[in-house]
Amino acid sequence: MPPAALSRRHFLQTSLLAAIATPAGRLLAEPAASTGSRIPLGMDNFSVRSLGWKAAQLIDYAASLNLDTLFISDLDSYESLEPDALRTVRAKADAAGLKMYVGSWSICPTSTRYKKDWGTPAEHISTGLRVSKALGSPVFRVILGTMDDRKTPGGIEARIADTVKVLKASRSEILDSGIKIAIENHAGDMQSFELARLIEEAGPDIVGVNIDSGNAAWTLEDPLGVLETLGKYTICSSLRDEQIWQTPEGAAVQWTAMGDGVIDWNAYLAKWRELCPTVPVQIETISGGPRIFPYHKREFWDQWKNARAFEFERFVALAAKGHQPPPHVSPPGQDKKTAEQDYQKSELERSIRYCRETLGLGVRGR
């Protein structure tokens, strides 16, 4: 019987036993692949969200870091979505040598995260495609929702079905635009195999993945395993590192700067070069405290009924190797908002240096 078909009780028992029996060294990284051509390096503007910068300021900042791409993952970051204003943004990005990537939020009308800020889901997609085309973005990033959608009537399966309907209804427009929709594995909404199913049902000719390495652990998966499943669909990215460690309730996850977590980036990038070598690595550092996953409690599994034992085993093996990072302490006497802004910039810039100097990423700034 495949793991996904096990009863919840049997799944929990066998998964925990398997995880306990798994040596911490089982998931040692494979040797790094030859670098070959350089993978473009960029940033996701959510990394510096507290600064409230609009597109022009974000372009100047990304250019100062000598990046290859700039991913603006929300439509509110543009002063205007009128054609002339977008042409000005495009010209500024072109002059700075930056490739633009465009994103927004939920297109699932029954998601707890869905808002009507951009009209109906179809209108939201239309706006995103128009902005993406104007700015030269090959994708329009969207999301389904969050972990809370797993608790809604019908569970995540119903929300996936609703999202597929939205995408199929806009199929002709998406094809005509030449832009692909990139759906993120976002905030614990879909496990990797669930997102792969959504892509296949909606049509991989119009839909791909915005892969988020940090969010991978929020669905009880190893980020490398998520890339193994979703890499062939990946067309955009929002990457960061994370620490995962054991707790009395189960495990905790805390996002970190690149190089400060449990992800083996040499192994990750070797798989990246194999599955999606032309997709830029775009860094989205997000500071904050840990999130607890109390998987020793039976009721925890109510929202993870379809989880697969072998993926959970890899997650627990990572938790056995990780540790709780020290808390960030702002300089004494510094204004709280300024401290947060400085910290977000420092985490992103430190991550960019790690990507460039240790991992050999980036076409510019070599």
**What does pLDDT average to in each consecutive run of 10 residues of the chain (366 residues)?**
41 42 32 60 98 98 98 98 98 98 98 97 98 98 98 97 98 98 98 98 98 98 98 98 98 98 98 98 95 97 95 98 92 91 97 98 86
pLDDT at 288: 86
The per-residue pLDDT for 323 is 97
- Provide the residue ranges of all domains of the chain, joining segments of one domain with +: 3-358
Contact 356, 41 (CB under 8 A): yes
Q: How far, CA to CA in Å, does 96 sit from each of 76, 237, 280, 282?
A: 22, 21, 17, 17
| pLDDT, position 124 | 98
Torsion of CA 313, 277, 92, 103, to 10 degrees: -40
DSSP codes, 158-182: HHHHHHHHHHHHTHHHHHHHT-EEE
In this predicted structure, what is the pLDDT of residue 366? Answer: 62
Instruction: Report the topology of domain 3-358.
Output: TIM Barrel (3.20.20)
Q: What is the dihedral of CA 311, 317, 321, 323, to 10 degrees?
A: 60
pLDDT the model gives residue 328: 86
Note the pLDDT of residue 23: 33
5-19 burial string, b = 16+ CB within 10 Å, else e? Answer: ebeeeebbeebbebb
